[in-house]
């Protein structure tokens, strides 16, 4: 089979790594890819938003399956454009991608189909939003309806702060068109985890759980980022909780989407708040997480290509019970450019990655990397490397990951030193 993978992050490097290992993978292309992906795929200079060019390339190369990493092109209709040319694609069409693309759409679906989530209101008008905020008994969270690169969520400690956030979003000042509508919801107090499942329009294939670290600094301090590290499985997960997540949230969503005339194909990434042992949906993403995908791919036992193709072709039922995960924990430490998530330098040299091969069960996935004209590996993005390790315990996975991190020579980079801390505390207490 010939595969085209769309994206250029650490998530896509881990997907490329797993796809390339499939015996049915005869050619793997990645658009646009990065310096790490070059080691397992042929990188093609087409941007993720260039829908016509991506479809043209897939036709020209007779691609059998397109796997889409990020949400942007899905919301913009890449899957629709590929299907119109009879090309199999793993990822939802634009209508189904609204689960991530519009927070209001997701909330209305939950309300209609009784899927547990925070109470909410949708507003385009500041006066109505202010009235709603003032009527709420507790604190609220204000969200831009559309895609805002993970930044469109403001957790407010007072009504004044909430009204100000709504005003800045609705005026277009904060997030442009993405904030023209806002969702205001009840603040949920609990512990978070992420759960992933595949869907092919009708059948679901539960995958596994992971835990992200969104804040930039140790101890979960500082501004939100795309994710500074992750581990899988999440320490909060239990068989009982997984059953609840599948039966109360994932399955009803897939049924609801089909009933609404927009069957969902792809990965459902559920961001969940566990409140008194009960899962509540915070948000849906319609793709794998970055960096959550990196530890998940290290735990996956089985053929990713077979799994994603079955998803794209509506055959997930055939895989029921066949996808298994290592019992080990995988943990990914993100190395980012100093200054991220604010401004940062680019084209800074990175050396000694080859030394990390000495550390057992470690894989370094690349995100914002490239080779310069002299062949030197350099950083070209905010999040640059995802150093990922397997361990029998989370402590072992963490020790291996940081051992590899400390071998990498990149003076302009930094990372959190406490990835996995909640799970480590739980492991110690057990
Ligand atoms: P999102 O972009 O929707 O994932 O939101 C970013 C983060 O905001 C989540 O990971 C949660 O930590 C937090 N969050 C979002 N909605 C709520 C809510 N209703 N209650 C508490 N925390 C929330
Ligand atoms: N790591 C968070 C995300 O992928 O959305």
Per-residue pLDDT reduced to its tens digit, 64-110: 999 999 999 999 999 999 999 999 999 999 999 999 989 889 999 99
Name the residue with the closest Cα to ligand 2, atom 5: 289
pLDDT per residue as tens digits for the range 200-233:
999 999 999 999 999 999 999 998 899 999 999 9
Determine what percent of the chain is predicted with pLDDT higher than 90.
82
What pLDDT, on a 0 to 100 scale, did the predictor assign at position 182?
Answer: 87
Instruction: Please indicate whether residue 386, judged by its CB atom, sits closer than 6 Å to ligand 2.
Output: no
Measured distance CA(393)–CA(192) in Å, rounded: 21
List the domains of the chain with CATH numbers: 2-93 (3.40.50.20), 119-186 (3.30.1490.20), 191-325 (3.30.470.20), 329-429 (3.90.600.10)
Position 167 pLDDT exceeds 90: no
Kindly report the pTM of this predicted structure: 0.95
Instruction: Please indicate whether residue 285, judged by its CB atom, sits closer than 6 Å to ligand 2.
Output: yes
What is the position in ligand 2's atom list of the atom closest to the CA of 291?
1
pLDDT per residue as tens digits for the range 6-41:
999 999 999 999 999 999 999 999 999 999 999 999
pLDDT per residue as tens digits for the range 94-151:
999 999 989 889 999 999 999 999 989 998 888 888 898 999 898 999 988 888 776 7
CA 330 to chain centre: 16
Position 176 pLDDT exceeds 80: no
Position 429 pLDDT exceeds 90: no
Q: Residue 95 carries which DSSP code?
A: T
Position 339 pLDDT exceeds 90: yes
Measured distance CA(78)–CA(89) in Å, rounded: 9
Residue (of 400, 405, 404) closest to 415 by Cα position: 405
Residue (of 199, 204, 208) closest to 236 by Cα position: 208
Q: What are the phi and psi torsion angles at 412 (to 5°)?
A: -95, 10
What pLDDT, on a 0 to 100 scale, did the predictor assign at position 150?
Answer: 67
* β-bridge pairing 265-275 and 191-200: antiparallel
What is the position in ligand 2's atom list of the atom closest to the CA of 285?
5
pLDDT per residue as tens digits for the range 292-338:
999 999 999 999 999 999 999 999 999 988 899 999 999 999 999 99
Burial of 158 (C-beta count, 10 Å sphere; 0-12/13-18/19+): exposed
CA 332 to chain centre: 13
Q: What burial letters (b/e) apply to 217-245, b meaning 16+ CB within 10 Å?
A: eeeeeeeebbbbbbbbbbbbbeeebbebb
* β-bridge pairing 215-217 and 221-224: antiparallel
């Amino acid at each position: 089979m010939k595969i085209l993978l769309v994206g250029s992050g650490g998530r896509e490097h881990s997907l490329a790594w797993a796809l390339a290992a499939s015996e049915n993978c005869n050619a793997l292309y990645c658009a646009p890819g990065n310096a790490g992906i070059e080691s397992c795929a042929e990188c093609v200079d087409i941007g993720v938003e260039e829908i016509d060019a991506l479809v043209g390339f897939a036709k020209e190369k007779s691609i059998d399956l397109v796997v889409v990493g990020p949400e942007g092109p899905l919301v913009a209709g890449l899957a629709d454009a590929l299907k119109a040319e009879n090309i199999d694609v793993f990822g939802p069409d634009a209508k189904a991608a609204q689960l991530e693309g519009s927070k209001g759409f997701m909330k209305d679906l939950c309300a209609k189909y009784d899927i547990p989530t925070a109470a909410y209101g949708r507003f385009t008008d500041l006066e109505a939003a202010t009235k709603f905020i003032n009527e709420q008994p507790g604190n609220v969270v204000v969200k831009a309806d559309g895609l805002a690169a993970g930044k469109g969520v403001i957790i407010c400690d007072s009504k004044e702060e909430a009204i100000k956030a709504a005003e800045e979003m609705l005026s277009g000042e904060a997030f442009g068109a993405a904030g023209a509508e806002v969702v205001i919801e009840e603040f949920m107090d609990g512990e978070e985890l992420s759960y992933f499942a595949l869907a092919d329009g009708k059948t679901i294939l539960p995958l596994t759980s992971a835990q992200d670290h969104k804040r930039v600094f140790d101890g979960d301090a500082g501004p939100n980022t795309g994710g500074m590290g992750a581990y899988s499985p999440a320490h909060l997960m239990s068989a009982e909780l997984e059953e609840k997540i599948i039966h109360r949230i994932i399955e009803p969503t897939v049924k609801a989407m089909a009933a609404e005339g927009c069957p969902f194909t792809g990965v459902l990434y559920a961001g969940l708040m566990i409140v008194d042992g009960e899962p509540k949906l915070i948000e849906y993403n319609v793709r794998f997480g970055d960096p959550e995908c990196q530890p998940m791919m290290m735990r996956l036992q089985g053929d990713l290509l077979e799994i994603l193709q079955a998803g794209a072709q509506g055959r997930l039922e055939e895989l029921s019970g066949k996808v298994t995960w290592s019992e080990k924990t995988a943990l990914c430490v993100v190395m980012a450019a100093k200054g991220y998530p604010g401004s940062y330098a680019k084209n800074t040299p990175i050396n000694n990655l080859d030394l990390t091969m000495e550390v057992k069960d470690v894989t370094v996935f690349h995100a914002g990397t490239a080779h310069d004209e002299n062949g030197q590996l350099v950083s070209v993005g905010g999040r640059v490397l995802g150093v990922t390790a397997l361990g029998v315990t989370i402590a072992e996975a963490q020790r291996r990951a940081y051992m590899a991190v400390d071998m990498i020579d990149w003076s302009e980079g930094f990372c959190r030193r406490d990835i996995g801390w909640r799970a480590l505390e739980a492991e110690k207490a057990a």
